[in-house]
Structure 1
Amino acid sequence: MPILQASVTPLPGGICLRGQTAIVTGASNGIGTEIVLQLLEREISTVILAVRNVARGEAARTALLARPSVKKANPKAVLKVMELEVEDYASVQRFTKAFLAEHSELHLLMLNAGIGVLKRDLVSNGHEKHIQVNYLSNVLITLELLPLLNATADKTGKPTRITWTGSRMHNVSALAKGKVPLKPGESVLGHFDSEDSYVAFARYADSKLLCLLFLFELRKHLNGDKVIQNSYCPGMVNTGMSDVLPIYLRLPMNLVKAIRARSVEVAGWIALNAAVVVGPESHGQFLEDKNIVEGSPFIKTAEGQKVQKMLWNETIDELSKLTTIPGWMKKV
């Protein structure tokens, strides 16, 4: 890992999002709040802050609307806070149902909410928390809102967008590194729910690998004519994500961040590049900073392709209990 990260150029001028509606998950702090700010500065009409803590979301909303740059560029912006607890399928469905009841268009879905902790934990449905929050709930949100994204594209004549906050860390997944391979007869989701497979320092990477495997399989079944879907990694960013670490890890991590971490503003440039600048060539692709890259070498191996197909099929089985699976999403 290089000591310093590569420089990133600002977004091009002239981006105007007037008349558009966006959802940003995990929008109450860090990169999520910065994404909302940069959308507002580019005159977006409506942004939904989808957050687990409504009080913090409202505080972020108040602070954003008070920013001089927002008052100048977008004084009539509609900024609404909605509760979304991504570790709970029921909360995801309450959120999507409420959004669909109130809005007839959706142009941009930014799946930014995520966790990265060291302690193993299971959510109420039995899945390991990282896998639920960072992967499964994001797929459910996508499937629930995809019909509206398609309809908006038909109405406007332009593709709508879904972009996931991903990570280069997927390269060091315990699965990709062969530390904890799938056992014969073991399912992918079952593997990651199992205590035996849990490697604390690799679980965040595991979840991000699953996100990318899903995206790479999705592009085989769905083109980007109506909805362009991609994922981006903003690199190391100076946010509070490391605050959950124990003190003996937090202090050295904060030192590393002080030397090499990017500002949230730069992370916002990278996020909006994926969301509104790059075109159809980015559909089903992973971007490191602003560049489309291949992803982990593991993904191209026979084992990686096997896991990708297994995950796709298991995700269909999992989510078919909750939502209507579109016709293009067939098992492989």
Structure 2
Amino acid sequence: MPFFQPPVTPLPKGISLRGQTAIVTGASSGIGLDIAQQLLELEAATVILAVRNVAKGEAVRRSLLARESVKKANPKAVVKIIKLDTEDYESVQTFTKTFLAEHSELHVLMLNAGIGTLKRELACTGHEKNVQVNYLSNVLLLLELLPLLTATADKTGSPSRVTWTGSRMHGATALAKKAPLKADETVLAHFDSEESFIPFARYADSKLLCVLFLYELPKHLNSDKVIVNSFCPGMVDTGMSDVLPIYLRIPVSAVKALRARSPEKAGWIALHAALVAGPESHGQLLADKEVAEPAAYVQSADGQKVQKMLWNETVDEMAKLTTVPVWMTKV
């Protein structure tokens, strides 16, 4: 991608989400906050802010409803807070039970919550934290909500939408050179191990898992009821780089000042994927607003092998937690 990112345009006029319900994870700051605001400005009837910090979420809810653009476009909007800690499978399951008990439709699911830590930590699930938050919990959330997304599509006659915040950085995975998968390793065990943890590659590793899952998905689930895609918004001026050590944070902040997009523009890209892109985007990563060519590692023989291994391991992992749909068969 060039140093200066190409311009992006707002969503086309005329999009209305009147009567629709949307969920945004990681909605209390950054891209997620702008996605939530733009959904409200597009007249979404109900927007669920899925957040780890409920008190902060409540403050964000009040702030959103007080914004003039929201009051003008959507004076009867409903914004709700439901706790979601994507480090914990149990929290994901509690979130979905709470949502399903209160709502009979779901039109848009924005899987935006994510982290990029440089220190190896294990989540309470036993999995490495970046992998848990950025990949595994998102798959569980998708599977738990998929029946309602499908039922909503049956009611409306239009596919429901699931959009995952991704990254071009997945091509920089440590699997390519720095920490390749050993012959006797499983994919998830590899990423849980201390030996495989490369601090500055782990965010890319976790985003690779998301992309590999998405690329395998259309082989099992078609796009007639639910369109699932991902997008990369490029460099965005958010707090994600705050985890960097100070000696890196300063130059990164300088680069961001020159080339980073605003969260508002990232929201345009996100909602293009969720509301404008069609069935051709199912199981694809959009770089800005165009379907991206798979990274070199993804297209390699090793990448294709890992894609199948990851799918099978994910089926086994999810089977411990939820009812795995019949289409989610091993390869």
TM-score band, normalised by shorter chain: over 0.9
Using the TM superposition, give the Cα deviation of residue 77 of structure 1 relative to its aligned residue in structure 2, in angstroms: 0.3
Cα distance between partner residues in 1 of 2:81 and 2:328: 31
User: 2:195 aligns to what SS in structure 1?
Assistant: helix
1:130 maps to a residue whose letter is N
Q: Distance between the aligned counterparts of 1:8 and 1:197, measured in 2?
A: 37
Q: What is the Cα deviation at residue 2 of structure 1? A: 2.4
Shift of 1:265: 0.8
Letter in 1 for 2:40: L
- Partner of 1:133 in structure 2? 133
Cα distance in 1, alignment partners of residues 180 and 272 from structure 2: 35
In the other structure, the counterpart of 1:70 is: 70
**1:1-332 equivalent positions in 2, closer than 5 A:** 1-175=1-175, 177-332=176-331
Identity %: 72
1:55-77 CA distance string (max 9 Å, x none): 11111111111110001000100
Q: Secondary structure at the match of 2:224?
A: coil
**Cα deviation, residue 185, structure 1:** 1.1
Measured after TM superposition, the shift of residue 156 of structure 1 is 0.7
What per-residue deviation string (whole Å, max 9, x for no partner) do you get for residues 218-250 of structure 1?
111110000000000000000111112221111
Contact 2:105 2:152 in 1 (8 A): yes
C-alpha displacement at 1:179, in angstroms? 1.3
How large is the RMSD of aligned CA atoms in angstroms? 0.7
> What is the letter of the counterpart of residue 52 of structure 1?
R
TM-superposed CA distance for 1:295, in Å, is 2.1
Counterpart-to-counterpart distance in 1, 2:242 and 2:49: 22
SS in 1 for 2:22: strand
Unaligned runs of 5+ in 1: none
Question: Distance in 1 between the 2:140 and 2:128 partners?
Answer: 16
Deviation digits for residues 305-324 of structure 1, max 9, x if unmatched? 11000000000111101100
SS where residue 228 of structure 1 aligns? strand
Distance across 2 between alignment mates of 1:94 and 1:218? 25
Describe the SS at the equivalent of 2:79: strand
Give the Cα separation in 1 of the matches to 2:171 and 2:6: 19
Q: Shift of residue 279 of structure 1?
A: 0.9
In structure 1, distance between residues paired with 2:188 and 2:328: 18
Distance (whole Å) between structure 1 residues aligned to residue 266 and residue 216 of structure 2:
26
Q: Which amino acid aligns with 1:34?
A: D
Normalising by structure 1, we get a TM-score of 0.99
Q: For this pair of structures, how many residues does the alignment match?
A: 331
* Deviation of 1:3 (Å): 2.0
Normalising by structure 2, we get a TM-score of 0.99
CA distance in 2, matches of 1:33, 1:204: 21
What stretches of structure 1 move > 2 A for 4+ residues in a row?
A: none
Moved more, 66-75 or 290-299: 290-299
Within 2, Cα distance between the matches of 1:304 and 1:2?
Answer: 26
Letter in 1 for 2:278: G
2:87·2:125 contact (CA, 8 Å) conserved in 1?
no
Further displaced range: 296-305 or 43-52? 296-305
Could you report, residue by residue, the CA deviation over 1:78-128 in whole angstroms, capped at 9, with x for unpaired residues?
000110000000000000000000000000000000001111100112100
